[in-house]
Amino acid sequence: MNRRVAVTGLGVVSSIGIGRDTFWNSLIEGKSGISNISLFDTSKFSRHNGGEIKNFNPSEYIKNVKYLGRASQFAIAATKLALSDAGMPATAISEKNAVIIGTTLPEGGDVDLSSKGLLEGEGVKILEHIMLNLLPSSISRNVSYYFDLKGRNLLIPNACSAGNYAIGYGFDLIKKGEIETAIVGGSEALSRIIFQGFQRLYAVAPDFCSPFDKNRKGIIPGEGAGVLFLENMDNAIKRKAKIYAEVAGYGLSCDAHHMTIPKKDGILKAMKKALKNSGMVPGQIDYINAHGTGTNANDKEESSAIRELFPEKNIPVSSIKSMLGHTMGAASSIEAVACCLAIQNNMIPPTINFSTPDPDCNIDCVPNTSRKARLNCVLNNGFAFGGNNCCVVLSRIN
């Protein structure tokens, strides 16, 4: 079938704001959500900053948070915001729905607690709910349980591109007529094990993230959730829903090259597939929301792929990770929310912390200040460890 897919609801929980409007205003103002981490002790690490969400009160969104891990709390809150934004109460959602959530490490905070208990000889005292939260499906399961959604349920553990994978799968299911609606996105909570892992890879910047800058020093780990409510375009129009954008298509690839180092060829292939599957040519893309991690390898390879695909067009490319930090499994879904709002508001978010151009990143990275521009089609890039790439095209409804 050839049904079209609309984005009618947006929910976001991030270090620069909770909810669509606060998040967007912070983006276009170039606000930073990076601060000293307080969730766990970083005194034994050489790095101490992260995109930690300091003002999140789960009880404002969730009736009973007793056994929910932090990532599930974010996902439920973002879903509640997205459903409210779409004007779609959970009780009105039929079983022809899918909940598809991406992540890197389900409930990393509970992994921290369980490993601490094992190290201290308290393995038998680890609570049952912590063990259940360690299951990969915990986040998507908890979203479905909380909203009593009995349709399909899936967690995609494809790390930093998982949110885009979730959007792509929801798009496929609606387009084929297998479902009518989808709750898609990603969620990730900061944890000691993730922070420690990135430090061990020498990938964490000391103070801030500066994508595409010549003197960039790496990522800043972050946390949050981004959820989009997708539905059959005909149904959205019939119920007079506000439509932020259309999911035009997506493209997948695997570098099959290196666990942590991206490769231009794989990035280029995913972008080309996204355009082809959307029925578009490079000249139709008005803006790229970059993966833009702030590492030497990613920014160089991504920039090179963009220049090859758009040789005659100095297309605006920005990385909002400069403000949020790298929210891992939530990254590409939060960035998809940003893309939808960019289309709606005809405004491109900036790449902050930019001071020195890099010849290896010869792109227009929208440095430091947001920019007004008519946006009809945008490309959202998401890449992950293992070379798992997913790029999504979102377009304006004319």
User: 178 versus 201: which is more confidently predicted?
Assistant: 178
Residues 158, 122 share a domain? yes
**Orientation of helix 296-309 relative to helix 264-278, angle to 10°:** 40
Does 187 score more than 90 pLDDT? yes
Which domain-ending residue is among 201, 216, 238?
238
Element (H, E) at 393: strand 388-395
d(CA 372, CA 15): 24
220 and 259 share one domain: no
Q: Containing domain of residue 356, as a range?
A: 249-395
Residue 152, beta-bridge partner list: 98
Return the SS3 of 226.
strand
Among 60-64, 78-82, 171-175, 208-212, the minimum mean pLDDT is found in: 60-64
Arithmetic mean of pLDDT, 89-95:
96
Kindly state whether residue 11 falls inside one of the protein's structural domains. yes
pLDDT category of residue 197 using cuts at 50, 70 and 90: confident
**Under DSSP, is residue 47 helix (H, G, I), strand (E, B) or coil?**
coil
Q: How far apart are CA 339 and CA 316, in angstroms?
A: 13
Task: Say whether pTM exceeds 0.85.
Answer: yes
Mean pLDDT of all residues in 261-273: 95
Interior CA angle at 165 toward 60 and 253, to 5°?
155
Tell me, what's the pLDDT at 259?
73
Report, in angstroms and rounded to the nearest whole number, the Rg of the chain calculated over CA atoms: 20
User: Do 226 and 333 contact (CB within 8 A), yes or no?
Assistant: yes
**Which pLDDT belongs to residue 163?**
98
| Mean pLDDT of the 253-276 span | 92
Give the pLDDT of residue 257.
85
pLDDT value at residue 116:
54
For the chain, the helix, strand and coil percentages under 3-state DSSP, each to the nearest 5:
40, 20, 40
Q: Which residues contact 201 (CB under 8 A, 6 or more apart)?
A: 260
> Could you report the per-residue pLDDT of 221-252, keeping only the tens digit for each?
999 999 999 999 999 999 999 999 999 999 99
DSSP string, 332-383: HHHHHHHHHHHHHHTEEPPB-S--SB-TTS-SB--BSS-EE---SEEEEEE-
- Say which CATH number the domain at 114 has: 3.40.47.10
Check residue 147 and give its pLDDT.
97
Q: Are residues 135 and 218 part of one domain?
A: yes
* Phi, psi angles (nearest 5°) of residue 71: -65, -40
User: Which has the higher per-residue pLDDT, 111 or 205?
Assistant: 205
User: Angle 331-345/162-175 helices, nearest 10 degrees?
Assistant: 70
- Is position 244 within any domain? no
189 lies in the same domain as 307: no
Residues marked active site are found at 160, 291, 326
pLDDT over 70 at 166, yes or no: yes
**Whether 208 and 274 share a structural domain:** no
Asked if residues 163 and 102 have their Cβ atoms less than 8 Å apart, the reply is yes
Domain boundary among 238, 268, 297: 238
Question: Tokens representing 162?
Answer: 């998982």
In a domain, 243, yes or no: no
Q: Which residues contact 311 (CB under 8 A, 6 or more apart)?
A: none
Name the one residue in this structure whose structure tokens are 């103070």. 207
Which residue has tokens 């003002």? 55
Residue-level pLDDT at 125? 52
Q: What is the pLDDT of residues 109-136, one digit of tens each?
A: 555 555 555 455 555 455 556 666 667 7
Enter the tokens of residue 140: 């998507």
pLDDT of residue 124: 47
Residues 151, 29: one domain?
yes
Residues 329-388 have pLDDT tens digits of 999 999 999 999 999 999 999 999 999 999 999 999 999 999 999 999 999 999 998 889
- Structural domains counted in the chain: 2
Burial of 216 (0-12, 13-18, 19+ CB in 10 A): buried
User: Looking at residue 66, what is its pLDDT?
Assistant: 76
d(CA 149, CA 98): 8
The domain boundary residue, chosen from 206, 238, 270: 238
User: Tokens standing for 8?
Assistant: 């009618």
Q: DSSP letters of 99-157?
A: EEEE-SSTTHHHHHHHHHHHHTT-GGGS-HHHHHHTSTTHHHHHHHHHHT--SEEEEE-
